[in-house]
Amino acid sequence: TLGVSSPAPIPASTELRSHTCGQLRASHVGEQVRLHGWAHAVRDRGGVLFVLLRDRYGVVQVTIGDQSPKEAVETGKNIRLEYVVGVEGTVTRRDAAVVNLEMKTGEIEIVATDVKIVSRTKPMPFMIAEQGKGKKADTKKGNQKNSTKTEIAATGGASDDTRLKYRYLDLRKPTLQENLLLRHRATMATRNFLDASGFIEVETPILTKATPEGARDYLVPSRVHPGSWYALPQSPQIYKQLLMVSGFDRYFQITRCFRDEDLRQDRQPEFTQIDLEMSFVERESVLEVAEGIVKCMFAKVLGKQIGEIPRIPYKEAMDRFGVDAPDMRFGMELKDITDAPIIKDSDFSPIKKALDDKGMVKAMVITGAAKASSRKVLDGYTAFVKSYGLSGLLYAKVGNDNTLNGPLSKVTGDKTGFEDFVASALNARLGDVILVACGTPAAVNAGLGRLRVKLGQENGLTATGPEYAFCWVVDFPLFEFDEGAGRYVSVHHPFTSPLPSQMNLLEDESRIGDIMSDAYDLVCNGSEIGGGSIRIHNPEVQQNIFKVLGISEAEQTEKFGFLLDALSFGAPPHGGLALGLERCIMIMAKADSIRDVVAFPKTTSASDLMAGAPAPVSSEQLEELSVESTAQEEKGE
């Protein structure tokens, strides 16, 4: 605004420091500076003490020797690793022989004129850096995988539990600090992009009502309303749709979601979602925004350009990759050979049985793998696919003139012609391995699809492909039949709109399973990192969907009454999406575990080992909440 000036950013210097540890360069030589930081490494070389002082910004060498006052030398002798130390001194150019170009501050050192120990440490449960290896902390962007390994080595093998208990110490490691810094930068980039695109961030409640995401809710007893409970949101889905009914037009929120699930390694009971919703849009507008976020994050944080993101219909993804979140960094696609004459005419009993049961036959070619594929290796593949419901795997190595060596050759029985098929349809060559699976589509796709990903990783195909391979998977089925429940369930959530062209199929009970939804998932390197849909904005359509899902009118009113109500007061066409923030950051940081991108993660049993949560509370507290724990009694029995 005219004539009104915003304050300048606050500098890094404070009452206690003139500079940060990462900031000093040759251009500062001669300056008297004051620094504070942690003793990252301490070396005594014949009476001269070298202390590497570390803070978030980097590492700098402090030299305490002949040129320092006696008191400084005496104090220096008491410095131990990870002490907090205050130093005053002169920025001095290092001798050419000891210039360290691996360190950003490696051309200079601080010749100490005053040294103060600010905070001491008890014996550390693990070290942050090995003695003398401190410089690693300040190397220019190396291969992060390697730096993780270096650090794990540096912990002296501290167990995961020890590292989680002392998480505040583990967080001193440069890798974890870099991951959280990256996370911050990614959310800043996201917010600024969305703000510039007319989105407004609106906070929705954490103490709310059960949402229909299908997972278990975390519950909170109400003190004021005994017997009543809040639920923590699994997502802000309903609230963001209500904001569209309110006319907010473009909403976003980077927000916490909660799911009380049995946790796998890559899940946390609370996680963060980049959540957005838009009014007066069709699918393309939503995809454009999500692509904008991802491209913006990668450009601003990693300096990497993400190109066009292909769109793949769900059916095609299953067909080519066997999974709905395809890893497109490499080929090795599945080939549906069910309808090939050589398969159709086969007398080979596994094939015949699969076809008789309306099953499917698919093949996958592992290029040049014949030599390395011992019987044991191939048996390993068979065991792997069996865990996805296949009864086995047919394989063969391609020999001279496309001859097949292995059980797969039995498919043709007495007939000939398989060799041509191998060369023309499968495009297999001398030295390749062909794998063929037959069975139900679900088992064939899951077995071969997962095996493809496993082999892609093990054979280094993912490493040599493009660094980031994004794709959209679109046109999902709206419903799938749940055999256990004996009814249709939503593939996404019940507010997902059918594709406009398929709306009429809702009237035809026999076509319910064929309806495609206007939902879309964003996939990167084989991981689903987000998803969303165009929502239903017509209350009658919403009620029809509930009917298909077997949700009675009473249940509709009880659970979703306020949403149905809202849709009846002039709801705009709207759609949106959510990106899993941790998934995005894991990919950007090349982190193996979600724990490496969360400041204070919980274990797979949902415990915070550092804070000691969850924990018993006093009976007075429970009484005030009108609840009782039944755990004690159970133990007593």
- Are 532 and 575 in contact, with CB atoms under 8 Å apart? yes
Round to whole Å and give the CA distance between 231 and 162: 32
Please state the φ and ψ torsions of residue 46, each to the nearest 5 degrees.
55, 50
Instruction: Report the nearest approach of a second copy to the CB of residue 578 (Å).
Output: 16
Q: Which two tokens stand for residue 436?
A: 């063929």
What is the maximal distance between C-alpha atoms in the chain? 95
Instruction: Report the nearest approach of a second copy to the CB of residue 548 (Å).
Output: 22
Instruction: Report the nearest approach of a second copy to the CB of residue 336 (Å).
Output: 34
Round to whole Å and give the CA distance between 520 and 536: 15
Which residues, 6 or more positions from 206, have their beta carbon under 8 angstroms from its beta carbon? 232, 233, 256
Name the nearest CA neighbour of 392 among 403, 405, 383, 404: 383
CB burial of residue 343 (10 Å; 0-12, 13-18, 19+): buried
Instruction: Report the nearest approach of a second copy to the CB of residue 612 (Å).
Output: 6
Instruction: Report the nearest approach of a second copy to the CB of residue 150 (Å).
Output: 18
Cβ proximity to a second copy: between 317 and 597 the closer is 597
- Are 307 and 301 in contact, with CB atoms under 8 Å apart? no
Instruction: Report the nearest approach of a second copy to the CB of residue 137 (Å).
Output: 11
Cβ proximity to a second copy: between 399 and 573 the closer is 573
User: What are the beta bridge partners of residue 535?
Assistant: 496
Instruction: Report the nearest approach of a second copy to the CB of residue 199 (Å).
Output: 9
Instruction: Report the nearest approach of a second copy to the CB of residue 525 (Å).
Output: 19
Instruction: Report the nearest approach of a second copy to the CB of residue 212 (Å).
Output: 12
Instruction: Report the nearest approach of a second copy to the CB of residue 462 (Å).
Output: 23
Cβ proximity to a second copy: between 96 and 631 the closer is 631
Cβ proximity to a second copy: between 504 and 557 the closer is 557
Tally of CB atoms within 10 A around 501: 9
Cβ proximity to a second copy: between 209 and 493 the closer is 209
| Exposure string for 273-287, b = 16+ CB within 10 A, e = fewer | bbbbbbbebebeebb
Cβ proximity to a second copy: between 222 and 440 the closer is 222
Instruction: Report the nearest approach of a second copy to the CB of residue 127 (Å).
Output: 12
Cβ proximity to a second copy: between 254 and 442 the closer is 254
Round to whole Å and give the CA distance between 256 and 131: 39
Cβ proximity to a second copy: between 157 and 198 the closer is 198
Cβ proximity to a second copy: between 173 and 362 the closer is 173
Round to whole Å and give the CA distance between 23 and 78: 26
Tally of CB atoms within 10 A around 492: 19
Round to whole Å and give the CA distance between 275 and 201: 9
Instruction: Report the nearest approach of a second copy to the CB of residue 622 (Å).
Output: 8
Round to whole Å and give the CA distance between 474 and 497: 13
Instruction: Report the nearest approach of a second copy to the CB of residue 23 (Å).
Output: 11
Cβ proximity to a second copy: between 466 and 614 the closer is 614
Which residues, 6 or more positions from 456, have their beta carbon under 8 angstroms from its beta carbon? 327, 329, 330, 332, 462
Name the nearest CA neighbour of 190 among 268, 296, 95: 296
| Exposure string for 378-392, b = 16+ CB within 10 A, e = fewer | beebbebbeebebeb
Cβ proximity to a second copy: between 281 and 435 the closer is 281
Name the nearest CA neighbour of 34 among 71, 88, 70, 77: 88
Round to whole Å and give the CA distance between 104 and 181: 18
Instruction: Report the nearest approach of a second copy to the CB of residue 252 (Å).
Output: 9
Round to whole Å and give the CA distance between 385 and 225: 52
- Are 542 and 496 in contact, with CB atoms under 8 Å apart? no
Cβ proximity to a second copy: between 103 and 563 the closer is 563
- Are 48 and 64 in contact, with CB atoms under 8 Å apart? yes
Please identify which residue in the block is written with the tokens 């996201």: 190
Cβ proximity to a second copy: between 95 and 634 the closer is 634
Please state the φ and ψ torsions of residue 32, each to the nearest 5 degrees.
-90, 125
Cβ proximity to a second copy: between 416 and 630 the closer is 630
Round to whole Å and give the CA distance between 556 and 159: 49
Q: What is the CA radius of gyration of the chain?
A: 30
